[in-house]
Amino acid sequence: MNRLTFEQVTSSRFGLAYWEPLVDGRPVRGLLHDPDATGQVGEREHVGPAGESVPVLVHNWPVAGTDGAEELLGRKPSALPGGRVALYVCSVCGDAGCGVVSAAVEWSEATVVWREFGWDTDWDDGEDDIRFEGGPFVFDREQYEGELLRFVETYAAVRASVPAYPASAAPSVRPTRRSWWPWSR
């Protein structure tokens, strides 16, 4: 059985304060691997396919909240196809449209399982699903829920104690052409 814990982190690049999920003391982002991206940027051992994405448990976005924790608890439906649940989101805006690292999450009376990790969006891009190696991770449901509820219950106090997300920390994001647009080829 695996153990889920969280480490409070502040991103030096984006100024975000978030809780990084750890499985058995190791960051989840480092436990996932995209077999098709070996050697590519973002596929370094310590960040894996999550790259610069941040966990859904962010305290200081302008519209931050506990929705990510509520989805991981199974209390709120996911916006992702097939009920998959976001673990890591865009570090600039947190929007699922930018793409998220997600998992299929299964709840039983005694356990919670994270499996079939992959890259998803909240819209159908017509591409094949991208799935990552890693897991499955099986958690004791009581311990798992206790750790996520700790985030929910302390959210307001922690949010008040960290600096607000500085607008100057957000990089200027210039939209890029998508490969399916005929004029971008």
What pTM does this model have?
0.82
**Mean pLDDT across 118-127:** 79
Task: Note if the bond before 182 is cis, omega within 30 degrees.
Answer: no
Higher-scoring residue by pLDDT: 21, 171: 21
Provide the pLDDT for residue 178.
39
Chain segment 67-76, per-residue pLDDT in tens:
999 999 999 9
Provide the pLDDT for residue 175.
42
Burial zone of 31 (CB within 10 Å; 0-12 exposed, 13-18 middle, 19+ buried): buried
DSSP string, 160-175: HHS----GGGS--PPP
Chain segment 16-56, per-residue pLDDT in tens:
899 999 999 999 999 998 887 655 444 444 456 788 889 99
Closest CA to 147 of 17, 25, 54: 25
Which residue type does 50 have? A
The number of residues in the chain equals 185
Share above pLDDT 70 across residues of the chain, in percent, rounded to a whole number: 81
Chain segment 88-108, per-residue pLDDT in tens:
998 888 888 888 999 999 999
Contact of 84 with 68, CB cutoff 8 Å: no
Q: In the beta sheet, which residues pair with residue 10? A: 17
Closest CA to 50 of 109, 98, 16, 3: 98
Given a cut of 70, whether residue 125 has pLDDT beyond it is no
Provide the pLDDT for residue 166.
63
Helices (H), 21-173: 67-72, 141-161
The SS3 of residue 107 is strand
Contact of 71 with 56, CB cutoff 8 Å: yes
**Mean pLDDT across 128-134:** 86
Give the start-to-end residue ranges of the domains of the chain. Answer: 4-170
Closest CA to 90 of 79, 78, 101, 103: 101
Contact of 113 with 137, CB cutoff 8 Å: yes
Distance CA 138, CA 147 (A): 14
